[in-house]
Copies of this chain bind each other. A is one copy, B any other.
Amino acid sequence: MSDQPVKPMALALAVAERAAQAGEVPVGAVLVDASGVVLAQTANRVEELADPTAHAELLALREGARQRGRPILDDCDLYVTLEPCAMCAGAIALARIRRLYFGASDPKGGAVEHGSRFFQQPTCHHRPEIYGGIDATRAGALLRRFFADRR
């Protein structure tokens, strides 16, 4: 079990890599239940779905809740390759995610360690356990390569 945080993140990175090939900003998310079963593996699909809310995290939470038939996922952990933005941090709190593992930090748009630091606000009503920097080098390299290729 010692490598448990690594395996879902490796899956999230693979999902992110496929997103890059499809022209989406490469961010991937994996939602697992308490026994480690993968409930959702989702990529950012903002362009494909023409949906400003279709970040990897939001799609994972929605898919997990759909499977469960309820909006609360308090026995679930979310792995995401990039520090969540304000929208996704808010959604993670609303879904009462148990643990959040994220990869690369996002000083420009992140809301966990940067900007609004949402989980530290008094208006945040659920704070997951948070583990940053998981496979961050790979996640960051993937994003940098994607944006370099587009310039």
Produce 1/0 per residue, A33-53, CB < 8 A to B. 000000000000011011111
Interface residues on A, range: 35 or more
Stretch of A105-113, A130-138, A143-151 at the chain-chain interface: A105-113
**Chain B residues near A6 (CB-CB < 8 A):** none
Within 8 A of B (CB), among A14-63: 46-47, 49-54, 58, 61-62
A132 → chain B, closest Cβ, in Å? Answer: 16
Find the residue from A49, A54, A86, A107 having the highest chain B CB count within 10 A: A86
For A110, what are the chain B residues with a Cβ–Cβ distance below 8 Å? Answer: 123
Main secondary structure of the interface of A (DSSP, over half): loop
List residues of chain B with CB within 8 A of the CB of A61.
Answer: 52-53
A62 surroundings in chain B (CB, below 8 A): 51-53
On whether the beta carbons of A86 and B124 are closer than 8 Å, the reply is yes
Cα distance A125–B51 in the bound complex, in angstroms? 17
| Nearest CB of chain B from residue A69's CB, rounded to whole Å | 5
Q: Are A86 and B71 in contact (CB under 8 A)?
A: no
A89 to chain B: which residues have CB within 8 Å? Answer: 86-87, 90
Residue A116 contacts which of B70, B91, B116 (CB distance < 8 angstroms)? B116
Q: Check A90/B86 contact, CB under 8 A, given A115-B124, A116-B111.
A: yes
Which residue of B is nearest A123, CB measured?
A: B115
